[in-house]
Amino acid sequence: MNLKSVSKMTLLLLVFTALFSSSAPAQDSILDELEEQDPCSIDIFSSVKQFQAGVPFQVGVLVKPLPGWHGYWHSSRDGGDAPEVIWSLPKGWKVSEPDYPVPTRMVEDGNLISIGYKKPFLLRFSITPAIKVDEDQPTISIPVKVIWQVCEKTCIYGQSESKLSISGGGDRAQMDAGGRTILANWRDRYPIPAAKARGFRFEQQWIPDQGSDRIRKGTWVVRWSRKGTDRRPAVPLQWIAFPHAIQEGAISEARVVRATLKRDRDSDVENVSLPGWEVRFELEDLGSGFHPGLLGVTLVPTPGKALGPVPGMPAITIEGSPRSE
C-alpha cells in the first residue's frame, strides 16, 4: 500500500519523534506501524470461468474498507475520491466504465457532506474479449490495480492489486457459479436508466438565472410521476436525489418534494393533473463549455423513514438533455 495522506496530528508526531528522540528504531517503529495499516482490500468475481471470443461478460471488483472506514461514490460532494480501477487487458479487449451501487449520504467531521459507502461495495464492469484470440493460450490472466481512498478520522490513499484468470476462448462461454451468484446478489443495488424505468414518465427543464450570463448560473428541474393510473407499488413514500458532479461549477443538494404534473395529451383520463415528484438543483460558477446535457442525477426510492432501497423498485438515473431549456 502507498500511504499518501495522514492526519496533521500524525505528521506532527512523526516530526517530533524525528527531532527529539535519540532512538532511531523508535521512529522506524512508528512508520512501520502506519505502513502496516491497510484499511482497504479488494476481491474480483467473474460471471464466467471460460470466455467466448467477442462475447461480453460481467466482472465485479469488491472494494472492502475495514469496519469504521468508508469509501466514496463517483460524485462524493465534500468527500474524497472514488476508486480508480486500472485493467491491463490483452490486445483487442475492451472494458466498460464501472457501474456504482446506490450510495448513502454521510456527514463527516466539520459537518462535511459526502456520498459513499460505509460497507464493502461492488463495482460492476462489462468486459468484451477480442473477436480473435490466441487459441494456444489456455488461460488468460488480466492484472487489475485499484487505487482507492478510504477515510476514518483521517483519509488514506492506497492501492491493491490482483489478477483475473479465466480459461481461453472456446465455442461457448462456461459460467462461474460462484461469481454469477455474487453478481446476481448485487444486481438490484445498481440504478437503471430512466428509459428502462417501467411505469414512469420524466420531464426536465433548464432555467438560466435571470440577469446573469446564462451559462454561469441556473436551475435544473427534474419532475417524474407514474404513467396513467398506475400507482404500484404503494411505496415509495419518499425519494432521495444524488446529483452527479460536473467538471466546472457547483451543483447544490436538493430535497425531493411532491409536485403536480400535466397528463399526456393522449391520456384517456379526464383529470388533467397527475401527482408526482420534483427536485430543483441550483448551479453556479459554470464553465464556458457547460450545457444541460452534462447534468445527471440518481433518484433513490425509500419507504418513508425506513432504510431503502424499496424491494422491486430500483434507483433511477436521469441524464440531462441539451434540449431541456
Q: The CATH number of the domain where 314 resides is what?
A: 2.60.40
Residue 241, in any domain of the structure: yes
Task: Answer yes or no: do 78 and 201 share one domain.
Answer: no
Task: Answer yes or no: do 139 and 244 share one domain.
Answer: no
Residue-number span of the structural domain to which 307 is assigned: 192-319
Structure pTM?
0.83
Task: Answer yes or no: do 93 and 136 share one domain.
Answer: yes
CB 222 within 8 A of CB 295: no
Task: Answer yes or no: do 123 and 222 share one domain.
Answer: no
Residue 235, in any domain of the structure: yes
Angle at 169 between CA 166 and CA 172, to 5 degrees: 105
Residue 175, in any domain of the structure: no
Task: Answer yes or no: do 140 and 96 share one domain.
Answer: yes
Residue 207, in any domain of the structure: yes
Task: Answer yes or no: do 73 and 117 share one domain.
Answer: yes
Residue 137, in any domain of the structure: yes
Provide φ and ψ at 270, rounded to 5°: -65, -40
Task: Answer yes or no: do 199 and 158 share one domain.
Answer: no
Provide φ and ψ at 177, rounded to 5°: -60, -45
Task: Answer yes or no: do 145 and 16 share one domain.
Answer: yes
Query: What is the pLDDT at residue 244?
Result: 97
CATH of the domain at 131: 2.60.40.1250
Domains held by the chain: number: 2
Task: Answer yes or no: do 222 and 149 share one domain.
Answer: no
Query: What is the pLDDT at residue 239?
Result: 92
Integer Cα distance of 155 and 174 in angstroms: 41
Task: Answer yes or no: do 153 and 223 share one domain.
Answer: no
Integer Cα distance of 95 and 106 in angstroms: 31
Residue 284, in any domain of the structure: yes
Task: Answer yes or no: do 260 and 116 share one domain.
Answer: no
Query: What is the pLDDT at residue 32?
Result: 44
Task: Answer yes or no: do 140 and 209 share one domain.
Answer: no
Q: What is the DSSP string of 162-229?
A: EEEEEEEEESS-EE-HHHHHHHHHHGGGS-EEGGG-TTEEEEEEEEEPTTS-TTTEEEEEEEEEESTT
Query: What is the pLDDT at residue 135?
Result: 72
Residue 200, in any domain of the structure: yes
Query: What is the pLDDT at residue 193?
Result: 96
Integer Cα distance of 246 and 242 in angstroms: 13
Residue 181, in any domain of the structure: no
pLDDT tens digit at each of 325 positions of the chain:
443 443 333 433 333 344 444 444 444 443 344 445 689 999 999 999 999 999 999 999 999 999 999 999 999 999 999 999 999 999 999 999 999 999 999 998 888 999 999 999 999 999 999 998 877 778 899 999 999 999 998 999 999 999 999 998 678 899 999 999 999 999 999 999 999 998 889 999 999 887 665 567 899 999 998 876 655 555 556 899 999 999 888 999 999 999 988 766 554 445 567 788 999 999 999 888 889 999 999 999 987 655 555 666 889 999 998 865 5
